Copies of this chain bind each other. A is one copy, B any other.
Amino acid sequence: MITLASDFGTPYPAAMKGVVLQRTDARLVDVAHDFPRQDVRTAAFWLREVLPYFPPATHLVVVDPGVGTDRAAVVVRAGDHALVGPDNGVLLPAARRLAAPDADRLETYVIDERAVGPVEPTGPDPAADASARRPTQSNTFHGRDVFAPAAAAVHETDTDALGSLEWLESTAMDVDLELPAPTVEEQRAAGEVLVVDGFGNAITNVPGSYLDGRERVLVNGDLVPVGETFAAVPVGERLATVGSHGYVELDVNRGRGDEAFGLEPGDGVVLESAAEPAD
C-alpha cells in the first residue's frame, strides 16, 4: 500500500500515480492533495495524526518548497512503515510516532536522485525541439521524477532491506521539525493554534486533559463553555472541546471556530481556569 500526500491540487498527483503504477501494482490511497501550499508544519501535523491509522505502508509525501535546491530527497524507515519525501522536516513528526517505542526503528536514507529513475513517459516530448536536450528530471516536479519512482521501489522492498537498494545511502536527517510544545500548569495553559481544519475548528497544541473536570474555561480572556460534543452548545455558539486528535479545539457548533475566536495557525492561545461563572 502506498499513500500519497501533497499540496499539488490536481492533476499533478495523477502523474505521480502513473509513474508508480508503471512500476508496481500497489494499492494507492490519497491522504490529501490540498495541504496549504508549501506549508511544511501543517502537513507534518496532519501526517502525524492520520498515518498511524494505516496498516504498514509506504507514505509518499511531497510538500517541498525547496524542490530543485540542494535539500535532500529521503526515505525514512519508521517501524513497519516507510516514508518518502523531502528532507525538510515534513516527515519527522509522523515518523517518530510510527517508529516508537524503538528509536532504532527510525532510519534515514538519502536518495541518489540521478539513479532512482529515470521516468520515461510514452511518446515524444511536445516541448522539445531538435536543438534542445532536456534533463531526464525536471527541477520543479520531483514528486513525479524522484519521489514517485522511489516510493514504488520502496514498496517493493522489505522495510528491513531498504539498505540493499543501491540508490539509497544511510544518512541522518538535515532538517528537524518539532511541533511547538505548550506550557501547561494546573490553572493555566499557554500554547498556540497548530492548524485550522476545513470546518474552521482551531486545533491547539494544548492536551485535551487540561479540560478534564472543567465546565468552562477562559480562552484568551473570554469565558467559553467546555463541551464534549459540538452539540453541547446552541447552534452558532462557541465552545472548547477535545478534538479527535486529543488536543483542545476551539469550535463553533455548526460554524467556524477560527472566525469566532479570531484565531489563525500560529496565534497564541492562553487557557485559564474560570472558577466562577462570569455574568
Interface residues, chain A, with chain B CB atoms under 8 Å away: 1, 3, 5, 8-12, 14-15, 17-19, 21-22, 25, 27-35, 37-38, 46, 48-55, 65-69, 79-81, 93, 96-101, 119, 121-129, 131-132, 134, 138-141, 144-145, 179, 184, 197-199, 207-209, 212, 228-231, 241-247, 249, 254
Contacts and interface: CB of A to CB of B under 8 A. Distances in A.
Nearest to A253: B65
B129 A207 contact: yes
A-B residue pairs, 10 tightest by C-beta: A68-B229, A127-B246, A132-B209, A141-B244, A9-B198, A18-B53, A52-B121, A18-B54, A97-B123, A10-B32
Nearest to A69: B231
A124 B139 contact: no
A144 B69 CA distance: 38
A138 B128 CA distance: 43
Please report whether the interface of chain A is mostly helix, strand, loop or mixed according to DSSP.
loop
Given A11-B31, A17-B29, 14 more contacts: A11-B46, A18-B55, A21-B54, A52-B121, A65-B230, A67-B229, A68-B231, A69-B229, A126-B179, A129-B209, A134-B246, A138-B243, A140-B229, A141-B243
